[in-house]
């Protein structure tokens, strides 16, 4: 059995932290940060529950890797079609060849992107870049999901109202200036049909989203540059990306608000995550650790 270099107490070979003093036993200098900040121990006192949890391997599947594998398989499939066309084994229409080239390139890009996301998520699961970890209980998960449902419903309702008004104006103008009665009726019914179609998505998707979230694992893994919350992976480590705000909240539940931004080829986007925290997590210390990593 090994011994802790700080207090000389016995430790297991796979332990990440000493059970007696909380010393970080991992070898990487980047990992040897303040354990009390990283794991929510209060006023420097050892929280045995958090130490035991930190030393246990997180039982969580990497949700990003299957997407990367599917992308690679699609790239291989489209590449095979291209090879068949080039070698003239099978005669394909030029349009199909161009489509295959396009989707092969897209699949390769997606494969590399999600492979990188998978590696980052794995670093959270393995604890290498993990700041805090917990699993939402039934009550916290219910509050979290209901909050997401309400936010999604409000957003979709606002978008639906604006879109419906524009459709009424555009199609209404056509109806007004059309002389043929049947064409006016057809145009009016087309506009109403589009509004009905949009309403199904606007008001139906939040219910599907809630149903899907209820079946997620409830795990929360927080790192300095990325986080995993109830089945969804977030990262802000790309160029022109970063943390906008992180703070403690008491409404709609006790937890932490994390807002980050990222920039794609066109615009700057932002996303806000509100996460319920259990009582054993020192939210202030968690905030300090995330801020220090950014």
Beta bridge partners of 276: 255
**pTM of the complete model:** 0.75
In a domain, 267, yes or no: yes
Residue 179: the pLDDT is 78
Last residue of a domain, one of 189, 214, 239: 214
Residue 55: the pLDDT is 58
What value, to the nearest 5°, has the Cα angle with vertex 5 and ends 4 and 10? 20
What domain range is 177 assigned to?
A: 138-214
In a domain, 106, yes or no: yes
In a domain, 261, yes or no: yes
In a domain, 19, yes or no: no
Residue 3: the pLDDT is 80
Three-class DSSP category at 2: strand
Q: Determine contact, residues 18/2, Cβ cutoff 8 Å.
A: no
Residue 28: the pLDDT is 46
Burial of 249 (0-12, 13-18, 19+ CB in 10 A): middle
Last residue of a domain, one of 126, 157, 178: 126
In a domain, 17, yes or no: no
Last residue of a domain, one of 100, 126, 152: 126
- For the chain, which residues score pLDDT lower than 70? 1, 6, 16-57, 265
Number of separate domains in the chain: 3
In a domain, 6, yes or no: no
- Residue 24 CA neighbour count, 13 Å, CB half: 19
In a domain, 204, yes or no: yes
Three-class DSSP category at 252: coil
In a domain, 43, yes or no: no
Distances (CA, A) of 8 to 3, 13, 28, 32, 53: 5, 14, 20, 18, 21
Residue 243 and residue 194 share a domain: no
DSSP 3-19: E-TTT--EE-TT-SB-T
Residue 155 and residue 194 share a domain: yes
Residue 179 and residue 208 share a domain: yes
Q: How many other CB atoms sit within 10 Å of the CB of residue 184?
A: 15
């Amino acid at each position: 059995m090994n011994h802790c270099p700080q207090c000389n107490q016995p430790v297991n070979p796979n332990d990440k932290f000493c059970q007696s003093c909380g010393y970080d036993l991992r070898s990487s200098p980047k990992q040897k940060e303040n354990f009390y900040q990283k794991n929510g121990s209060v006023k420097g006192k050892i929280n045995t529950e958090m130490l035991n949890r930190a030393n246990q391997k997180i039982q969580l599947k990497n949700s990003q890797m299957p997407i990367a594998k599917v992308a690679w398989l699609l790239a291989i499939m489209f590449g095979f079609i291209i090879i068949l066309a080039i070698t003239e084994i099978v005669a394909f229409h030029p349009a199909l060849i161009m489509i295959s080239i396009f989707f092969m390139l897209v699949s390769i890009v997606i494969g590399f992107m999600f492979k990188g996301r998978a590696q980052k998520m794995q670093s959270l699961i393995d604890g290498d870049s993990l700041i805090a970890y917990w699993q939402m209980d039934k009550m916290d998960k219910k509050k979290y999901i209901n909050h997401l449902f309400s936010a999604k419903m409000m957003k979709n309702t606002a978008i639906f109202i604006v879109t419906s008004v524009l459709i009424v104006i555009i199609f209404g103008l056509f109806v007004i200036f059309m002389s043929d009665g049947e064409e006016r009726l057809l145009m009016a019914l087309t506009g109403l049909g589009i509004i009905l179609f949009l309403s199904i998505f606007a008001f139906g998707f939040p219910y599907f989203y809630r149903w899907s979230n209820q079946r997620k694992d409830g795990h929360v893994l927080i790192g300095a540059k990325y986080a995993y919350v109830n089945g969804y992976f977030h990262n802000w480590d790309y160029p022109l990306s970063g943390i906008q705000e992180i703070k403690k909240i008491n409404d709609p539940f006790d937890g932490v608000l994390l807002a980050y931004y990222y920039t794609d080829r066109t615009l700057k986007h932002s996303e806000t995550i509100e996460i319920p925290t259990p009582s054993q997590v020192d939210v202030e210390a968690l905030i300090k650790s995330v801020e220090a990593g950014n």
